Amino acid sequence: MNEDDGQDDQGPQGRADAVDREMAARPLPDSVVRALGRWWEVNASVYADGTPGAHTVRYTPGRWARIAPWPGALAPTSVGGDAAVSRAEVAAAVGDALRREAFREALVATYVWGKGKRGTPGGSGPATLHKILTFDGLDAALVTAVNALREHGAPHAYAALRRQVPGLGPAFFTKFLYFTSAAVPPAHGPRPLILDGVLARCLRQLAAAVGHERGHDKDGSVAAWVWSDSHWTPHRYQVYLSFMQAATNQLVQGDSWPSCATPDLLECALFTTSWETTD
C-alpha cells in the first residue's frame, strides 16, 4: 500500500494523518528538547551562526579515483590519506557547478560529502556512484529536479528524482537537493533538507510515542509504515519538512537553542544526538 492511496479516517492513512497533526501541534517532547539543548551547549562555538555550515566530513580522495567529473573544491584523488570538506564548502562547490550547468559535478560533491569514509560490503560509495554516473538519463533527471525546485518547491523536486535514477535513493538525492537549494531557492515553501534512515528513525520514534499516547497508533505499526528506513513518498517528505520547521520554531522560543537557528541545524543535531521520548 502506498501512503498516497487515500484510506478512510479509520484506516492506516487516516491514523497516519492524525499522528502528523499531533506532531505538528507539539513537535518535540520535553525530554528531546533537553537533549538537543545539551547538544547545543557542546556545539555552540562550532555553529555560532545558527547553521550547520561548519559541519565537516572526512573522506579519502584516493577511493574515488574512477569518478569524473571531479569537483575542484574537493582534494585531488591523487592526494594520499584523508581530506575534509564542510557543508559550507560543498554548498559553494555545488553553486559554482550549477552556474556552469555541471549537474553531474554538483551531484558528485554532495555524494562524496554524504558518504565520507563510510562504505558497505556491497560496494556502496565509489562503486555505486560510478554506476549512477553511467546512467544515460542522469542529466535529464537532475535538470528536471533543479527546475522543479526553482519553479514549484521542494516536494516537487523530490518527486522529480524519486525512482528516476538507478542506485540514487532519497538518502542521497535529498543531499543533492539540500545543497542545490543554497544556489536555487525553492519557489514556494521550505528549503529541502536531508532525509535518510537516521532521520527517519528519529521521526519514527517521535511518531510512535505520540501515536501511542493519543490512541492513533497503539502498536507503533503506523509510525513504522510511514517512517520506514527508505522509499518515502513525496507526501512524507513534505510532512518531514513541515515538521522540521515547526520543531525549529518550538526550539527557538526557548532559551536552550539559538534564536537564529535554521531547520538544517536541527537536522544535523538529530543525526548525532541520542535521546528518549520519555523521561
pLDDT in tens, 194-225: 999 999 999 999 999 988 888 888 898 999 99
Residue 14, CB half-sphere, CA atoms under 13 Å: how many?
A: 6
pLDDT at 214: 83
Query: Looking at the DSSP assignment, which residues form a beta bridge with residue 85?
Result: 57
Calpha distance 64→279 (Å, rounded):
45
Residues 18-45 have a mean pLDDT of 93
Residue 267 grid cell:
537536522
Give dist(CA 64, CA 71) in Å, integer. Answer: 11
Where does the pLDDT of residue 26 fall: very low under 50, low under 70, confident under 90, or very high at 90 and above? confident
Integer angstrom CA distances of residue 117 from 80, 158, 214, 254: 14, 26, 41, 36
Cβ–Cβ under 8 Å, residues 42 and 78: no
- Output the CA–CA distances (angstroms, integers) from residue 28 to 123, 137, 220, 249, in the order listed: 37, 41, 18, 11
CA distance 39 to 32: 10
Query: What pLDDT, on the 0 to 100 scale, is given for residue 277?
Result: 66
For the whole model, what pTM was predicted?
A: 0.93
Q: What number is the average pLDDT over the span 66-92?
A: 96
Helix 263-272, helix 197-214: angle, nearest 10:
90
Q: What is the mean pLDDT of the chain?
A: 92
Picking from 238, 230, 178, 175, the residue whose alpha carbon sits closest to that of residue 204 is 230
- Between residues 26 and 239, the one the model is more confident about: 239
pLDDT of residue 117: 86
Pair 94, 106: CB distance under 8 Å? yes
Whole-number pLDDT of residue 9 = 57
DSSP label of 78: T
Q: What is the mean pLDDT of residues 163-172?
A: 97
At position 226, the amino acid (one-letter code) is: V
Give the per-residue pLDDT at 4. 56
Q: 238: which 3 cell numbers?
A: 513534505
CA nearest neighbour of 110 among 121, 122, 94, 125: 94
What tens digit of pLDDT does each residue of 99-155 get? 999 999 999 999 999 999 875 544 568 999 999 999 999 999 999 999 999 999 999
| Amino acid occupying residue 104 | R
Residue whose C-alpha cell reads 584516493 in the numeric block = 62
- Count helices and strands (H / E) in the chain: 12, 2
pLDDT at residue 274, as a whole number: 77
Give the model's pLDDT for residue 66.
93
* pLDDT level of residue 86 (50, 70, 90 thresholds): very high
